Structure 1
Amino acid sequence: MRSPSPTPTPAPSLATAALCAAVLLVALPQARAINCYQCNSKVDVACAELEPPPPNGTERYLRLCKDGPDGEPAFCRRSVIKVLAANKGEGETRIVRSCGWVKHKNECYKFDDDDHHEHVCQCFSDACNAASGPGHAHFLASLLAPALALALALRR
C-alpha cells in the first residue's frame, strides 16, 4: 500500500512577510545592546560637530553602552551645556555625548542653575546622539511598515 503524499506547504503571502518585517522593525529598538557616540567637546573639540554616518572619523566615538548598575537598559544621550562665567552670564558651551540609564519622561528637557544651562535629549537607536540630535527616521519607518502590511492585506 502506498503512503499518502505529503501536502505541500503554501508559501507565505507578501502581506504575511511584510507583517513579520514590521514586527521585527518595531521590536529591534527593544534590543538591549546599543551603540552611542561617547565624547566631550571640552576634551575633544571634534565631538561638537559629529556628522554620521561613518566612515568619516566619527566611528572612533561610537561605542557599545553597558546596561546600568541595576540592569537598566542603556540609551543614548546628547547634552548641550553652557557653563556660565562668574557674574557675566557668558561662558563656554560644551557638547557631551554619552550613554544613559535613567530615562526622563520627555525626549528632551532643560536644566538650569546658577552655574550652567543644560539641554539634554535622549534617544534609543544606534548612533542617534549625533550632531543633528535624536533622529525620527526609526519612528517613521515603524509607522510605514505596518501601514504597508495593512495596505497589502486589504488589497486581497
Structure 2
Amino acid sequence: MTSTLLQKICLLTGLVCFLYVQEITGITCFDCNSLYDPRCGDPFDAYSIGEVNCSKQQPLEHLKDKYQPSVCRKLSFKIYGKTRIVRKCGYIQDQHDDKACVKRSGTHDVHALLCSCTTDKCNSAPSTLMIENNNYLLKALPLCLTIMIMVLANSNSIIQYL
C-alpha cells in the first residue's frame, strides 16, 4: 500500500469520524429548578444535579417542528426578594449567547438575569458571566489522530507495521 493511498484513506476516515462525532453529540445541559430542588441554586454543585442530552428530550410543542435544542440556559429570577434559578435546554440562539448575561427588571421588585451558552454543561456557571466548557478538543480528536497518522506515514515509520 503506497503512502499516498494510506494518507487518503486516513484523511477520509478521520473526516467521517469527525463529522459523525459532531452529529451524534447533541448539546448537554443541566436541567433543574431551584423551587423544586435547592441544589439547583447558586452556589451550584454540578456533580449533584443530573444533566440531559437536549436532543433526546421531548421537544416543546410549539417549537418541535421549527427548532432543535442548541443552547443551554440559566435563568435567575428575583421576585419580591426570593430567588429562583432554572437551568434548562434552549431552542433559539441570539446575539447574547456565550456573552455576558442579560439583566431585565420589571415593576414591583421583579428582576431577571438571562444567560445562554452553546457548549455542553455550560449552564453551571455563576450568573455574572457564562464560562464556556469547550469540548471542541473531544470533537476534533478523530481529525487530530488522522493527521498524526498521516505525518507518521509520511516518515515511513508506520508503513513497516502495516
- The TM-score normalised by the length of structure 2 is 0.57
Sort the Cα spacing of 1:104 and 1:31 in 2 relative to 1 into closer, same or farther, 3 A.
farther
The amino acid of 1:126's aligned partner reads D
Q: Runs of 5+ in structure 1 lacking a partner?
A: 1-7, 86-90
Q: Runs of 5+ in structure 2 lacking a partner?
A: 152-162
The amino acid of 1:135's aligned partner reads E
Identify the match of residue 127 of structure 1 among 121, 131, 137: 121
Partner residue in 2 for 1:77: 73
Structure-2 separation of matches of 1:99 and 1:72: 12
- Which one has the bigger helix percentage? 2
| CA contact 2:122–2:133 (8 Å) conserved in 1 | no
Structure-2 separation of matches of 1:116 and 1:46: 23
1:117 aligns with 2:111: yes
Deviations 1:23-71 (A, max 9, x none): 939x83x76722211111122111113333xxx3223xx1232453233
Larger Cα Rg: Structure 1 or Structure 2?
1
Aligned-residue Cα RMSD (Å) equals 3.9
Offset, 1:118: 1.2
Structure-2 separation of matches of 1:110 and 1:69: 28
The number of residues matched between the two structures is 130
Deviations 1:81-114 (A, max 9, x none): 111x2xxxxx012211011112222123222211
Partner residue in 1 for 2:39: 46
| CA contact 1:36–1:128 (8 Å) conserved in 2 | yes
